[in-house]
Structure 1
Amino acid sequence: MIRTMVVDDDAPVRLALADRLAQDPSLTVVAEAADGLRAVELARGRRIDVALMDLRMPGLDGIAATRRLRELPDGPRVIVLTTADPDESVYRALAAGADGFLPKDTPAAELARAVHVVCGGQEMLHPAAVLRLIDRYHRVAAPGSVTARSRIAGLTPRETDVLRELADGLSNAEMAGALGMRECTVKAHVGRILTALGVGDRVRAALLARDAGLIADGV
């Protein structure tokens, strides 16, 4: 059973999300919160596997709450919920540690699938959409650039090549074609890159690559 939490300041929205989750018998809603601070308090007191997080709430917003949840020992994975096209707040939530984003009106079956995917340790992200967000909103700070370059310096030349392509939004199959490698080899390189950089997913790796100047930000 996957234990979920719904976080939204609108009570009817919380109810609708909980009802959709309840349609999957392997999911259970164990907590609901109307603001980020309450969500963090609830997560400290019980095991929660996945939190569905509204971004715009009074008090502690969804971005700050996501960061605090991800800092907890055994804290929940987080899917942020949007009402429109992904914007800077979604980018900031991903940078804070969110594992994916979905529209609030996502149908029950897709919502449940996203929870299963994220609970299994994968991201619920569309690579092209994420890279557009990074291109549009990512701003490099000098201290972060120095740290990022230091972390990337430990990669082999081939791993650096793979990271550069990854940060440009290529899939494993596309990277294999661009670099003249087998797809399984690319997959192995990606795993080693994530471990070496100390990040949990491709989005955080892409952000590091941008910080380090490995690939230029878009316009």
Structure 2
Amino acid sequence: MAIRKKDIIHLYKTYYMDRENEQVDLFQLLKQEFSIVNAVYPGSYVQISPAFVYPQVVFIDADKNAIKFFKDNDRIINLINSRKEYDTIPNITFYGRDYNNPIKELLGLFDLLISQYAGFISSCCKQYLKVGGYLLANDSHGDAGLASIDNDYKLVATIRESNGKYKLSFNDLDKYFIPKQDIAITKEYLYKVGKGLSYTNKASLYVFQRVM
């Protein structure tokens, strides 16, 4: 669906504000618990709400509507300024490209890598995270499952969502990512399936720390 210039901000409101999908509470929770200052969001589409909470955010998406959206920089900055929760000037950058292609100037810079509904970001974009930084992932496309078998990551928390409210838990982490079926979970298998598997216990979202 092509969008006209006058519809740019309307696109954000339709997909995120009107559907209560902004997740501002989620990003606030992560900032408070893990002292997040900056974030990188591959496959972001037009979800600019992390920039309401974090002073520096990099967005990466090859979608043509996302590219058109982020060209309207003045209106985006005005929207962020009207919602931001920090005193500094918003520092946002957008790369209109496939996130599978590395961006050298971003390597090792970020406290938070966001992976939601956009594929296997935990692997190809891991290099953007600082060692000690955090990956926020859901398992819609199997990315949380992939991170769970990656030795560079350690599961440190789960998040449950109910009516737009998010609750963080550090308990019983070893009960997650146990498949219901007797199968060997490998990177190759997850890439082939391309979606989240059936596990004995599930959360809405998972927080991993990059340990290597």
TM-score by length of 1: 0.34
TM-score by length of 2: 0.35
Higher helix share: 1
Higher strand share: 2
Query: Which structure has the greater CA radius of gyration?
Result: 1
